[in-house]
Structure 1
Amino acid sequence: MILIGEYNNFKVSKKVDFGYYLENEMEEEVLLPNGSLNNKKIEIGDKIEAFVYRDSKDRVISTLKTPLLTVGKIGYLEVVGQSAIGAFADFGLERDAFIPIKEQIFKLKTEKKYLFYMYLDKTDRIALTTKIDAYLEFAPEEKFKVSDEIEAVVYESGYNGTLKVAINKKYKGIILGNEHFEYLYPGQEVKARVKRIYEDGVIGITTRKTRLDERDLLSREILQYLRENGGFMPFNDKSSPEDIKNTFNTSKNYFKIALGGLMKQKLIAQDKEGTRLI
């Protein structure tokens, strides 16, 4: 049986003007067009591995080119087009992969990359879905430890700012709402560190720096803000968390810690109006 969307083992059975015919052990044939040889030379009788898919005319063909994704796998692909019934993503071959509207749990944007799972639809055509949660793996117990630096891709937004992420585009992870201050959107790649490993194997991560690193960075940002605004800012340790987050992209607690450090260094002074450079 020829498997669409996957690599198949074939024997080169015959040559024609427009390519080669490949044959599997069940004597099923599929065309390998000349344009899909990928600069490789083959001969009658050669045993080869080729990827099978449907071309733009819906014919089952094979290729020696390497797709970016195969059926049953998750990949990070760029959206290259939109239509009334779905979108299209480039997976490295002449024909783009289709993402039906019903398989989009968020609005896809052209020229942006997202994580997709590739499957075959009811008509045996390659398709993609953003519903990847069920296909991600739980990380082995020894894979990560607290404080490890990792890379992840956001794939779903939840309540209270919680985000589901795929670590290394493979393992289930989560960022709680209080573990990120910046707006992170589906498809965005982030650098983070492991904060907690849950009993079910989900990896809790944070984009926040360690307390010491965040305090030092925030202190520099506060001083820069003061210098750029005439040595004054209308914020102090009594300011609202919302104003602090909107201006400095941090929590009120971290803001107060940074202010305290700067006051100990006698670099700033606070009053009821705000904070001033000394």
Structure 2
Amino acid sequence: MIFVGEYNDLKVDRKVDFGYYLTDEDGNDVLLPNASIKERDIKLGEEIEVFIYRDSKDRPIATLKKPLIKVGEVSYLKIVGESSFGAFADIGLDRDIFIPLKEQKFKCLVGKSYLLYAYIDKTGRLAATTYVDNYMEIGEGFKVGDEVEVITYGKGGEKTIRVAIDGKYQGIVLGNEHYNDIYPGEKFKARIKKIYEDGVVGVSTRRKRLEERDVLKEQILDYLEKHDGFMVYNDKTSPEIIKETFNTSKNYFKMTLGGLMKEGKIEQSLEGTRLKK
């Protein structure tokens, strides 16, 4: 049997003007077009590994090219087109993979990349879904403090973000471990904060405490210098305004202001905060 969306080991049966026909043990055949052969020397009777997909006329077709994804895999793919029925992602072949609307947990935007899982739909075509959570693996060997690369693929609550560590392992970013809005498909560096009993890895976009305070200190001083040495914000300012303005928590903001006061660089009043001359 010839399997669409997978690699198949098939025998070169006969040559035609437009390519070669390959067969399986049951006599089923599929065309390997000349366009996908390139410079390889194909011999009659030899067994070769090919990837099978469906062409624009919905016929099974073989290729020697290596696609970016196959059935049962999760891969980070770029959206290159859309229609009223769904979106299309580039997989490195002549035909893109289709993501039906019902398989989009969020809208797939052209030009953006997302984690997608490949499957065969009811019509026998290769398709993909953004519902990848069940296909993420439990990672092993991670340690608290490790820096990792993650890709966002959904939400685990109102503020909790689900991410794939190294594109394949289950991870989450709790609401208090990120300040910026994080959207599906974003790829970024994060630090391992905790490893839960079920193996899910908790990561944070925040720096280590001392590093974060140093960065915030520079942000506050820079802000003051750009606003004639004064700002209306102080340790009484609401957490929402602090987050919106300085992208940090009120607790960190208050501690950093306290540190700057001890250093003699600022002074606070009911009106706000001022640089000391």
TM-score (norm 1): 0.97
Alignment partner, residue 136 of structure 2: 136
| Counterpart residue number, 2:41 | 41
Instruction: Give CA-to-partner distance per residue, 1:39-69, whole Å, 9 cap, x none.
Output: 3221212221000000111010100011000
Following superposition, the deviation at residue 29 of structure 1 comes to: 1.1
- Counterparts of residues 81-96 of structure 1 (less than 5 Å): 81-96=81-96
Q: Secondary structure at the match of 2:228?
A: coil
Distance 2:3 2:215 in 1: 54
Give the distance between the partners of 2:199 and 2:159, measured in 1 at CA.
21
Partner in structure 1 of residue 55 of structure 2: 55
Which one-letter code corresponds to 1:146 in the other structure? V
Q: What is the number of residues matched between the two proteins?
A: 276
Q: Give the equivalent residue in structure 2 for 1:11.
A: 11
Q: 1:155 matched to which residue of 2?
A: 153
Q: TM-score, length-normalised on structure 2?
A: 0.98
What displacement does 1:145 show?
0.9
Where in structure 2 are the equivalents of 1:1-278 lying within 5 Å? 1-140=1-140, 143-278=141-276
Post-superposition offset of 1:159: 2.6
Root-mean-square deviation over aligned CA pairs: 0.9
* Aligned mates of 1:39, 1:222 — CA distance in 2: 61
Matched residues in 2 for 1:114 and 1:121: separation? 20
Shift of 1:14: 1.1
What is the CA distance between 1:108 and its match in structure 2? 1.2
Greater CA deviation, 64-73 or 24-33? 24-33
Judge conservation of contact 1:20–1:31 (CA < 8 Å) in 2. Answer: yes
Q: Deviation above 3 Å: which 4+ runs of structure 1?
A: none
State whether residues 136 and 166 of structure 1, in contact with CA within 8 Å, keep that contact through their aligned partners in structure 2.
yes
Q: CA deviation at 1:25?
A: 2.4
| Stretches of structure 1 lacking an aligned partner (at least 5 in a row) | none
Secondary structure of the equivalent of 2:158? helix
Q: Distance in 2 between matches of 1:38 and 1:180?
A: 48
Gaps of 5+ in 2: none
1:139–1:172 Cα contact (<8 Å) kept: yes
**Matched position secondary structure for 1:246:** helix
Q: Name the CA distance, whole Å, in 2 between partners of 1:242 and 1:119.
A: 43
Contact 1:38 1:65 in 2 (8 A): no
Alignment partner of 1:213: what SS?
A: helix
Q: Which moved more, 1:157-166 or 1:174-183?
A: 157-166
| Cα offsets for 1:70-117 (capped at 9, x unmatched) | 000000001111111111111110101110010001111110000000
Whether the 8 Å CA contact 1:233–1:276 is kept in 2: the answer is yes
After superposition, the C-alpha distances for 1:2-29 in whole angstroms (9 at most, x for unaligned) are 1100000012111110001112222221
- CA distance, structure 1, for counterparts of residue 57 and residue 11 of structure 2: 25
Distance 2:240 2:153 in 1: 26
